[in-house]
Amino acid sequence: MAYFGTNGVRGRFNELTPELAQRLAQQIGIYLKKSGAKGKSGKIILARDCRLTGEVLSSSVAAGLASVGCDVVDLGVASSPTAEFMIKKLGACGCVMITASHNPPEWNAIKVVDSNGVAVSRERGGEIEKTGIKLAPWDGIGKITRYELAGREHMDVIKSLVDVEGIRKRRPKIVLDCGNGTASVIAPGLFKELGCEIISLNAHLDGRFPGRPSEPSEANVKELLIAVRTMKADAGIAWDADGDRVIFVDEKGGYVIGDRVFALSVLWRLVSCKGDVVTTVATSKAVEDVAAKNGCKVRYTAIGAPALCEEMARKPAAIGGEEVGGVIWPQLSMAKDGLMTGAMLAQALCEKPLSAWLKDIPLYYNVKLKIEADAKGRKEIMSRVLAFAKKSKLDYITLDGVRVNMKDAWVIVRPSGTEDYVRVFAEARSEGDAKKLASEYEKVARG
Ligand code: MG
């Protein structure tokens, strides 16, 4: 059976057991050492989020890696962007993170990132699972060392990339909702050092996530929306459990979805650095609009972090990101870095309020619907939609499903990889237009 999914190996504790973690770690270690750039050490970064199963799984992974001759640099509990930032910094041949990101606390996962900072896809995961295990000789076993400075070093580099002087002068008041996840390790310290006035919510590590579920959806961050309004703060920021994704809250207590967080980030980045924007085919047209306004273009990829960083590694880009509020700042690393995204917000607040920034981002509405279909049905639907796009001479992309671009709208029809349905997702400048577009393509899909 295949263990690697779209981004790592995920499971509950009775599925992702310590035994499995150790065996996979042996294969991962051999794979990373083999594929690591020449001249790199056999060093592998290891980090975990604060889930209750994290320490046991991390110990198994450390044992697995060392047993095949990899030196393990264990960061302990650290955010994913902190861990991924350390790959280049320490010249490691990769990084293994024990984190189930935004999933509920009983879940955990092993994520693998290579020496170039590129997350390992399902396909490369398949190669890892085929790797034969050969133990190191007794005197060739790797060392396992603790490294305590990663958070500090990550904070320092973020501080070097924003205008700390300016932020200190303006002193924006920001409410930080760390969701009891790994953002708790550095976010309060980072924003204090940046010169912000901060109020922290759920800012202690707790693998049960008692404060709120770790997905920073609007329903889950109600407390933050109220806090920003009642405390008259300039903004709010909420992270998921491993700190790579963020959402913002404007000074009126309005929730800013991930798509718009990414569009804002693109706007901020392109001011100082012109270049391509890389994003997935599920991202709002607002991003393309912002890029075009700055004379830059968007390169699309399939959905998921591995496809995104593979494309950024293939050809340079100014910025990359996903529709769910994960933004890659390549001047820092190839990780989605929610801490950096938050720091960029602090800097932007020195110029004008967040609600004013949001006026620069075109507003789109979207409608999602599902069509039930088995594997054969999904294939038929996709070929009908593709034939329609071809026949009608539409502007379409087939990287992941079929995305059709129109002047002020787009629609994607995409089969689920694991479940019995096809998704139709439409975006337009009004809710009515989005609904019309979705039902038009539902009809095309049903034939
Ligand atoms: Mg995450």
Q: Please spell the DSSP secondary structure of 121-162, one letter per residue.
A: -HHHHHHHHHPPP-PPPTTSPPPEEE---HHHHHHHHHHHHS
Instruction: Report pLDDT digits (tens) over 183-229.
Output: 999 999 999 999 999 999 999 999 999 999 999 999 999 999 999 99
Task: Give mean pLDDT, residues 71-79.
Answer: 98
Dihedral over Cα of 125, 70, 48, 159: its sign: negative
Domain 4-148 matching CATH 3.40.120.10: the answer reads yes
Provide the pLDDT for residue 37.
Answer: 57
Environment of ion ligand 1 (residues, CB < 5 A): 101, 240, 242, 244-245
pTM for this prediction? 0.95
Say if residue 378's pLDDT is above 70.
Answer: yes
CA of 102 to the centre of ligand 1 (A): 5
Provide the pLDDT for residue 38.
Answer: 57
Q: Name the one residue in this structure whose structure tokens are 């989605």.
A: 336
Q: Is the fold of 153-358 the same as that of 365-446?
A: no
Domain 153-358 sits in which CATH superfamily?
A: Alpha-D-Glucose-1,6-Bisphosphate, subunit A, domain 3 (3.40.120.10)
- What whole-number percentage of the chain has pLDDT above 70? 99
Q: b/e map of 327-363 (b: 16 or more CB within 10 Å)?
A: bbbbebbbbbbbbbbbbbbbbbbbeebbeebbeebbe
Task: Give mean pLDDT, residues 406-425.
Answer: 92
Provide the pLDDT for residue 63.
Answer: 98
Task: Give mean pLDDT, residues 363-389.
Answer: 95
Domain 365-446 sits in which CATH superfamily?
A: Alpha-D-phosphohexomutase, C-terminal domain (3.30.310.50)
Q: Is 265 a catalytic residue?
A: no
CA of 250 to the centre of ligand 1 (A): 22
Provide the pLDDT for residue 1.
Answer: 77
More confident of the two residues 144 and 6:
144
pLDDT band at 7 (very low <50, low <70, confident <90, very high): confident
HSE value, Cβ hemisphere, 13 Å, CA-based, for 301: 22
Q: Which of 58, 80, 101, 184 is catalytic?
A: 101
CA of 269 to the centre of ligand 1 (A): 22
Averaged confidence pLDDT in the chain: 96
- The answer to whether the CB of 45 falls within 8 A of the CB of 75 is yes
Cα-flanking dihedrals φ and ψ of residue 155, to 5°? -60, -45
Cα-flanking dihedrals φ and ψ of residue 232, to 5°? 50, 45
Q: How far apart are CA 101 and CA 241, in angstroms?
A: 5
Say if residue 10's pLDDT is above 90.
Answer: yes
CA of 405 to the centre of ligand 1 (A): 29
CA of 336 to the centre of ligand 1 (A): 8
CA of 430 to the centre of ligand 1 (A): 30
Q: Where in the chain are the domains?
A: 4-148, 153-358, 365-446
- The answer to whether the CB of 271 falls within 8 A of the CB of 209 is no
How far is C-alpha 44 from the geometric centre of its chain's CA atoms? 21
CA of 82 to the centre of ligand 1 (A): 12
Instruction: Report pLDDT digits (tens) over 150-185.
Output: 999 999 999 999 999 999 999 999 999 999 999 999
Q: How far apart are CA 187 and CA 179, in angstroms?
A: 11
